[in-house]
Amino acid sequence: MTSFFSERTAEYSILPTVVMYLRQRFGAAAPMYFWSTREGNTVADEIHAGQRMRVLVVFARRPKVWREAVLLGKLNAELFEFAQRAGQHGLPCFAGFPAVRSVLELGEDFRTHWFPLIGGEQNDLYFQVDLSQPHLAPTAMDGQSLQTVELSDLGDAVENARVLPWSDVIKAIRSVRHPHRRTSYGDFFGRGSLYNPAYVLVAE
C-alpha cells in the first residue's frame, strides 16, 4: 500500500519535538543529517575537535491509510539490523511514526509512536494504529508483541549512551552505514544502508 508522503517529510515533523525535549533535559541538542563530504570532512573534524557528545539515531516511518480511521506502518528488517550495529557503537536507535492522515495534519497537534529498534526481531514488522481509539498503542498485524516507548525513554537511552569525541562519532556513523563484513576472501565494507536516519547530537 502506497503512502502519501515520504520518510523525509515525516522526519521534518517528528524531530523538533525530540530535539526540544533533549535540549530541556540535557541543555544542548542538535539534529544532523550525515553527509560524508560535509559533516564527515576534515574541516568539520577540526572545528569539533575536543567536543564530546552522545548520539541518538532516529528513523522516521511514514503512515499508510488503510481504512478511514486506521493507519498501517512498517518497521523494515534493515532498521533492526542498522540498530544492532548502532548499539555496538553505543548509539541508541528508535523509529518514530506520526499518526496522521494527511500532510497538513503534521502542522497540528499529533501523536508520534516511538519504537525501540535495538534488540528487535530482524524481520519486517507490520503494525496498525486505530485513530478512533487514541489511547491504544499500535498493534502488530501478525500478533507479535510490539513495544512502544515515550519521549522520556528516549531521554533515558541518551543519558545511558556512550559519550564519544567527534572523531569517534563520525567513525561510528561511517561504520554503521557501511557494515564491515568478513568473507572467505577477506574483509570488506557492505553496500551501505538503503535507509538513512537523522542523528541528534547531545552535548556531554
Q: What is the pLDDT of residues 60-109, one digit of tens each?
A: 999 998 888 999 999 999 999 999 999 999 999 999 999 999 999 999 99
Q: Within 10 A of 179 (CB to CB), how many other CB atoms are there?
A: 16
Q: What is the pLDDT of residues 167-196, one digit of tens each?
A: 999 999 999 987 754 444 444 444 555 679
The single residue listed with the C-alpha cell 533533549 is: 22
2 located within any domain: no
144 located within any domain: yes
Cα angle, residue 10 at apex, residues 201 and 129 outer, rounded to 5°: 115
Q: Within 10 A of 103 (CB to CB), how many other CB atoms are there?
A: 12
120 located within any domain: yes
88 located within any domain: yes
Tell me the C-alpha distance between 133 and 110, whole Å: 14
Query: All 3 cell numbers of residue 48?
Result: 569539533
53 located within any domain: yes
Amino acid at 143: G
39 located within any domain: yes
Domain count, the chain: 1
Domain limits for position 149? 7-203
Tell me the C-alpha distance between 36 and 13, whole Å: 24
Q: Is the pLDDT of residue 123 over 70?
A: yes
Instruction: Return mean pLDDT, the chain.
Output: 91
1 located within any domain: no
